[in-house]
Chains A and B, each alone.
Chain A
Amino acid sequence: DTEVTQTPKHLVMGMTNKKSLKCEQHMGHRAMYWYKQKAKKPPELMFVYSYEKLSINESVPSRFSPECPNSSLLNLHLHALQPEDSALYLCASSQVPGQGAEQYFGPGTRLTVT
Protein backbone atom coordinates (compact mmCIF):
# COMPACT_ATOMS: atom_id res chain seq x y z
CA ASP A 1 0.00 0.00 0.00
CA THR A 2 1.75 3.16 -1.21
CA GLU A 3 -1.16 5.48 -0.67
CA VAL A 4 -1.74 8.50 1.49
CA THR A 5 -5.42 9.19 2.00
CA GLN A 6 -7.00 12.46 2.99
CA THR A 7 -10.51 13.38 4.05
CA PRO A 8 -12.54 15.28 3.21
CA LYS A 9 -11.77 15.99 -0.45
CA HIS A 10 -13.56 19.30 -0.33
CA LEU A 11 -14.49 21.50 2.62
CA VAL A 12 -16.36 24.77 2.78
CA MET A 13 -16.36 26.47 6.15
CA GLY A 14 -17.26 29.81 7.65
CA MET A 15 -14.82 31.93 9.55
CA THR A 16 -16.34 30.95 12.90
CA ASN A 17 -16.41 27.20 12.23
CA LYS A 18 -14.15 24.51 13.66
CA LYS A 19 -13.25 21.67 11.36
CA SER A 20 -10.54 19.03 11.01
CA LEU A 21 -8.64 17.58 8.09
CA LYS A 22 -7.50 13.99 8.32
CA CYS A 23 -4.61 12.13 6.75
CA GLU A 24 -3.68 8.47 6.94
CA GLN A 25 -0.87 6.29 5.65
CA HIS A 26 -0.08 2.63 6.20
CA MET A 27 3.39 2.52 4.71
CA GLY A 28 5.14 2.57 8.09
CA HIS A 29 6.48 6.04 7.38
CA ARG A 30 7.73 7.90 10.42
CA ALA A 31 7.63 11.43 9.02
CA MET A 32 4.42 13.19 8.09
CA TYR A 33 3.90 16.65 6.68
CA TRP A 34 1.23 19.27 6.12
CA TYR A 35 1.59 21.56 3.13
CA LYS A 36 -0.56 24.41 1.88
CA GLN A 37 -0.78 25.00 -1.86
CA LYS A 38 -2.34 28.06 -3.46
CA ALA A 39 -3.29 28.05 -7.12
CA LYS A 40 -0.30 28.13 -9.50
CA LYS A 41 2.13 28.01 -6.56
CA PRO A 42 4.38 25.27 -5.18
CA PRO A 43 3.49 23.44 -1.97
CA GLU A 44 4.40 25.47 1.10
CA LEU A 45 5.50 23.51 4.16
CA MET A 46 3.45 24.09 7.32
CA PHE A 47 4.33 21.33 9.80
CA VAL A 48 6.56 18.28 10.06
CA TYR A 49 6.01 15.39 12.45
CA SER A 50 8.93 13.12 13.07
CA TYR A 51 8.26 9.92 15.02
CA GLU A 52 4.91 11.37 16.09
CA LYS A 53 6.52 14.50 17.52
CA LEU A 54 6.15 17.96 16.03
CA SER A 55 9.60 18.84 14.75
CA ILE A 56 8.94 21.78 12.46
CA ASN A 57 6.35 24.54 12.59
CA GLU A 58 6.95 27.01 9.80
CA SER A 59 5.56 29.99 11.71
CA VAL A 60 2.02 28.91 10.99
CA PRO A 61 -0.77 30.93 12.66
CA SER A 62 -2.32 29.31 15.71
CA ARG A 63 -5.67 28.96 13.96
CA PHE A 64 -4.05 25.87 12.41
CA SER A 65 -3.37 23.17 14.99
CA PRO A 66 -1.76 19.88 13.97
CA GLU A 67 -2.08 16.61 15.80
CA CYS A 68 -0.46 13.22 15.31
CA PRO A 69 -2.46 10.64 17.31
CA ASN A 70 -0.27 7.76 16.12
CA SER A 71 2.27 6.89 13.47
CA SER A 72 -0.38 6.40 10.78
CA LEU A 73 -2.61 9.39 11.37
CA LEU A 74 -2.20 13.12 11.05
CA ASN A 75 -4.87 15.71 11.70
CA LEU A 76 -5.06 19.42 11.08
CA HIS A 77 -7.55 21.25 13.25
CA LEU A 78 -8.93 24.48 11.85
CA HIS A 79 -10.52 27.29 13.82
CA ALA A 80 -11.41 30.88 13.00
CA LEU A 81 -9.88 30.75 9.54
CA GLN A 82 -9.67 33.67 7.15
CA PRO A 83 -10.72 33.71 3.48
CA GLU A 84 -7.05 33.90 2.49
CA ASP A 85 -6.60 30.46 4.07
CA SER A 86 -8.57 28.98 1.17
CA ALA A 87 -6.18 26.58 -0.57
CA LEU A 88 -5.37 22.95 -1.27
CA TYR A 89 -4.05 21.30 1.89
CA LEU A 90 -1.74 18.43 1.17
CA CYS A 91 -0.55 15.76 3.53
CA ALA A 92 2.62 13.86 2.76
CA SER A 93 4.69 11.16 4.37
CA SER A 94 8.21 9.85 4.03
CA GLN A 95 9.99 6.80 5.34
CA VAL A 96 12.18 8.72 7.72
CA PRO A 97 12.77 12.40 8.17
CA GLY A 98 16.03 13.38 6.64
CA GLN A 99 18.11 13.51 3.54
CA GLY A 100 16.76 11.97 0.44
CA ALA A 101 13.43 10.95 1.81
CA GLU A 102 11.02 10.93 -1.09
CA GLN A 103 7.63 12.20 -0.08
CA TYR A 104 4.32 10.57 -0.91
CA PHE A 105 1.54 13.10 -1.19
CA GLY A 106 -2.13 12.55 -0.56
CA PRO A 107 -4.79 13.88 -2.96
CA GLY A 108 -5.37 16.91 -0.77
CA THR A 109 -8.34 18.68 0.77
CA ARG A 110 -9.59 21.67 -1.16
CA LEU A 111 -10.62 24.18 1.48
CA THR A 112 -12.80 27.21 0.89
CA VAL A 113 -13.29 29.69 3.72
CA THR A 114 -16.32 31.93 3.33
Chain B
Amino acid sequence: NAGVTQTPKFRILKIGQSMTLQCTQDMNHNYMYWYRQDPGMGLKLIYYSVGAGITDKGEVPNGYNVSRSTTEDFPLRLELAAPSQTSVYFCASSYPGTYQPQHFGDGTRLSIL
Protein backbone atom coordinates (compact mmCIF):
# COMPACT_ATOMS: atom_id res chain seq x y z
CA ASN B 1 0.00 0.00 0.00
CA ALA B 2 1.80 3.14 -1.23
CA GLY B 3 -0.28 5.73 0.70
CA VAL B 4 0.50 9.29 -0.47
CA THR B 5 3.16 9.58 -3.16
CA GLN B 6 4.81 12.86 -4.11
CA THR B 7 7.10 13.56 -7.04
CA PRO B 8 9.69 14.89 -7.46
CA LYS B 9 11.50 14.60 -4.12
CA PHE B 10 13.91 17.46 -4.91
CA ARG B 11 13.93 20.22 -7.49
CA ILE B 12 15.86 23.40 -8.21
CA LEU B 13 14.10 26.05 -10.30
CA LYS B 14 15.18 29.36 -11.70
CA ILE B 15 13.14 32.49 -10.92
CA GLY B 16 10.21 32.75 -13.32
CA GLN B 17 10.12 29.09 -14.28
CA SER B 18 7.00 27.02 -13.76
CA MET B 19 6.51 23.47 -12.53
CA THR B 20 3.94 21.03 -11.25
CA LEU B 21 4.33 19.07 -8.03
CA GLN B 22 2.56 15.75 -8.32
CA CYS B 23 0.59 14.04 -5.55
CA THR B 24 -1.35 10.82 -5.74
CA GLN B 25 -3.00 8.67 -3.06
CA ASP B 26 -4.35 5.15 -3.19
CA MET B 27 -6.45 5.16 -0.02
CA ASN B 28 -9.63 6.45 -1.70
CA HIS B 29 -9.59 9.52 0.54
CA ASN B 30 -12.01 12.29 -0.37
CA TYR B 31 -9.95 15.10 1.11
CA MET B 32 -6.52 16.17 -0.12
CA TYR B 33 -4.28 19.03 0.96
CA TRP B 34 -1.13 20.89 0.02
CA TYR B 35 1.07 22.44 2.68
CA ARG B 36 4.38 24.25 2.71
CA GLN B 37 6.85 24.19 5.58
CA ASP B 38 9.53 26.83 5.88
CA PRO B 39 12.54 26.20 8.16
CA GLY B 40 11.60 26.37 11.85
CA MET B 41 7.96 27.01 11.02
CA GLY B 42 4.75 25.06 11.16
CA LEU B 43 3.01 23.74 8.09
CA LYS B 44 0.82 26.26 6.28
CA LEU B 45 -2.14 25.17 4.15
CA ILE B 46 -1.92 26.28 0.52
CA TYR B 47 -4.99 24.63 -1.05
CA TYR B 48 -7.29 21.77 -0.23
CA SER B 49 -9.92 19.70 -1.96
CA VAL B 50 -12.93 17.86 -0.55
CA GLY B 51 -13.49 15.79 -3.69
CA ALA B 52 -12.93 15.58 -7.43
CA GLY B 53 -13.75 18.89 -9.11
CA ILE B 54 -13.77 20.87 -5.84
CA THR B 55 -10.85 22.95 -4.58
CA ASP B 56 -10.52 25.79 -2.10
CA LYS B 57 -7.88 28.21 -0.88
CA GLY B 58 -6.03 27.76 2.39
CA GLU B 59 -3.91 30.24 4.34
CA VAL B 60 -1.24 30.94 1.70
CA PRO B 61 -2.63 30.32 -1.84
CA ASN B 62 -0.97 33.20 -3.69
CA GLY B 63 1.40 32.05 -6.44
CA TYR B 64 -0.09 28.56 -6.65
CA ASN B 65 -2.85 26.75 -8.51
CA VAL B 66 -4.41 23.33 -8.10
CA SER B 67 -6.80 21.02 -9.87
CA ARG B 68 -8.58 17.81 -8.82
CA SER B 69 -9.85 15.86 -11.80
CA THR B 70 -9.75 12.47 -10.05
CA THR B 71 -10.04 11.23 -6.47
CA GLU B 72 -6.44 10.01 -6.57
CA ASP B 73 -4.53 13.01 -7.92
CA PHE B 74 -4.06 16.55 -6.65
CA PRO B 75 -1.26 18.39 -8.52
CA LEU B 76 0.08 21.76 -7.34
CA ARG B 77 1.28 24.23 -9.96
CA LEU B 78 3.74 27.08 -9.55
CA GLU B 79 3.37 29.42 -12.50
CA LEU B 80 6.13 32.01 -11.96
CA ALA B 81 8.56 30.70 -9.39
CA ALA B 82 9.84 33.23 -6.85
CA PRO B 83 12.58 32.85 -4.17
CA SER B 84 9.88 33.16 -1.47
CA GLN B 85 8.48 29.84 -2.67
CA THR B 86 11.62 27.98 -1.62
CA SER B 87 10.22 25.50 0.89
CA VAL B 88 9.34 21.89 1.60
CA TYR B 89 5.95 20.99 0.17
CA PHE B 90 3.82 18.25 1.70
CA CYS B 91 0.72 16.67 0.24
CA ALA B 92 -1.74 14.95 2.57
CA SER B 93 -5.04 13.13 2.36
CA SER B 94 -7.80 12.07 4.74
CA TYR B 95 -11.35 10.84 5.04
CA PRO B 96 -13.90 13.51 5.98
CA GLY B 97 -14.65 13.90 9.69
CA THR B 98 -13.31 16.10 12.44
CA TYR B 99 -11.13 13.41 14.00
CA GLN B 100 -9.86 11.82 10.80
CA PRO B 101 -6.05 12.00 10.73
CA GLN B 102 -4.18 13.31 7.72
CA HIS B 103 -1.71 11.03 5.99
CA PHE B 104 1.30 12.80 4.51
CA GLY B 105 3.57 12.15 1.59
CA ASP B 106 7.30 12.39 2.23
CA GLY B 107 7.61 15.87 0.75
CA THR B 108 9.14 17.77 -2.16
CA ARG B 109 12.14 19.98 -1.38
CA LEU B 110 12.03 22.94 -3.76
CA SER B 111 14.70 25.61 -4.13
CA ILE B 112 14.25 28.64 -6.34
CA LEU B 113 17.40 30.51 -7.27
Task: Please determine whether chains A and B interact with each other in the same assembly.
Answer: no
Please give the residue numbers on chain B whose beta carbons come within 8 Å of chain A beta carbons, in ascending order: none
Chain A residues with CB under 8 Å of chain B are none
